[in-house]
Every structure is written in structure tokens, then in C-alpha cells.
Amino acid sequence: MNLSIHSLRLLLCACILMLAAGCSMVRVGYNQVDTLAGWMAHEYFDLEPAQRDDFSRRFEKLHAWHRRDQLPEYAQFLSETKIRAQRGISATDMLWLFDGMKSRYAAIAVRAAPDAAELLAGLSDSQIDHLRREFGRMNEKFLKENRTLESIAARRLRQQRTALAQIRDWVGPLSDSQESRVITLLQTLPLTDALRHEDRQRRQREFLALLETRKTDRNGFTKRVREWLLNWERNRPPELARSLEESWKKRAEFSAAVDKMLTTEQRSHLSHRLQDYIDDFRYLAAQKTAVARND
């Protein structure tokens, strides 16, 4: 990943995507995301002190805007999600949820692009070389964590463990028969780790090529950064695009099938879980900062 895209996704991780933690962790995580973003930016680019300060100032403003303008909307989005969950999640509902998360990412990308371009334009060649090495390290970590170079059985086992842990987090304990049914349903899902690795590498190549233009065409650089952030799926090879699109549809169907096996108690657990996040977003949005008041 990179300075800009990780900063944007950190905000989402502290909100919509930080779903595996308890509600108190969402509150703590969101309030500390600026610190984490600064640490990660330095890790990727080996920033100079002045660059780190500049990043912090710009990210602080983005964070304040996100708290003020986006979190209330996130609460509304999850309120609609809760209504759909209470009546029973369909595959269409899941695709609606996926699209909603993408559109909320896009809103952050549009807001952040000018500052991201300014920061990226000031990088040195040695810092870009540092990023290139970080990409290699991160790719190795991705392959190891996802067991991508191992057997199909090993990859399936990781898929099962991850899926079961996520489902339990949302709905509570599963019975033995439910776990068995989930494992059976997972066999209908394609293994996407290799596809995602391929797509990550594509994005990394695009980003490195983009950075090469930062000095030769400064006026057009901001526009290209914005386009790269927004249109992250555009340049996928057709076969890869079809495979990933099909995997999203299969995941939606899987989620709908899991929903159908939930008990009344598990559905109530899910409803309360969603309400916890809604309450968190509203609580965090109500907090005021100096930047938020002055922005």
C-alpha cells in the first residue's frame, strides 16, 4: 500500500472495517488513527521530520472532517443495515453493503487527494526506493499470512478459520451443526488470495509509475493521484476483473445462506452488535477537536 491509500483505509478500518473489535476498541482506535497513520507513513517512506509534521497536519484536518461529516452518515448507513439484518439478509443486501463501503471510501479519496498529491510530490528518489522494498516485504507477508504458496487444503483451512471467527464475532457461538454447514458452504467460495495478490501487485506497479510523474508534470499529478485513488478497479485485466467480481457475488450468496441458519438469539446478537457500532459512530461524531472547530 502507500501513504495516501493507507491513510484513507485507516479511517475506514477505524469505522466500518474495524468490525472484529469491541465497541470500546472502535472508540480508542478511531481517536488514535492519526498516530497510527503517521507511523505507517513513516514506515513506508522513511519520512524526514518535516515531512512527518506535514503529514500529521494534513491528516489531522482529514480526520476532523471525517469525524464531523462522515461518521453521522456512517451511523445512518449502519442503521439501514440493521433494519435489513432484522428482516433477514439477502445476497442483494450484501451487494448493497459492499457498494456502500466502496462509495464511502470514494468520498474520503476525493477529499484527501489534493493533500495526498502534495505529500507524494515531495518524496525523494531514495524514499521511493524505500517504498519499493516495503512493497516486497508486504507482499511476502501477505503470501505467508494467507498461505498462498501452500496447498489448496492449507488455504481452505485458513479460509474456514477466518470465516468462522468472523461469523462468531457477529452472531455469537455457533452450534456444531452450524459450523459444519458453514464449512460446507465455504466450499462454494473461490479461493481469492492469489487473485488479490495479483491485484495488489498491479496496483503497486501503477502507483510506482504514477510517482515517476511527480516532478515532470506537477500540474497533472494531483489529477492522476485522484484518479488512481478513485478508480482502483479500472485497469484490472478482464479475466482478473471477472474472477474478482464473481467472488463478491459468491460471498454475498454465502452470507445470505449463513443468515438463514441463524437462531433468534444469534439474530438478536447481530442486531445488538450493529447497534454498538451505530452508538460508537454517533459518540465519536459528537466529540469536538480544535481542528474540527476551526476547519
List % helix, strand, coil for the chain (3-state, nearest 5).
80, 0, 20
Distance between CA atoms of 131 and 139, rounded to whole angstroms? 12
Burial (CB < 10 A; 0-12, 13-18, 19+), residue 47, is buried
Whether 267 contacts 57, CB under 8 Å: no
What pLDDT score was predicted for residue 22? 36
Whether 164 contacts 174, CB under 8 Å: yes
Q: How many CB atoms lie within 10 A of CB 269?
A: 18
Reference 119, options 232, 33, 229; nearest CA is: 229
pLDDT of residue 207: 92
CB atoms within 10 A of CB 19: 14
Integer Cα distance of 28 and 24 in angstroms = 6
| DSSP letter for each residue of 227-255 | HHHH-TTTT--HHHHHHHHHHHHHHHHHH
pLDDT at 24: 44
Q: Exposed (0-12), middle (13-18) or buried (19+): which is 266, by Cβ within 10 Å?
A: buried
pLDDT of res. 32: 80
pLDDT along the chain (295 residues), means of 10: 41 37 55 81 90 90 90 94 94 93 88 89 94 94 95 96 94 96 95 94 93 86 90 90 93 95 96 92 80 51
Q: With CA atoms as reference, report the closest residue to 160 among 142, 180, 177.
A: 180
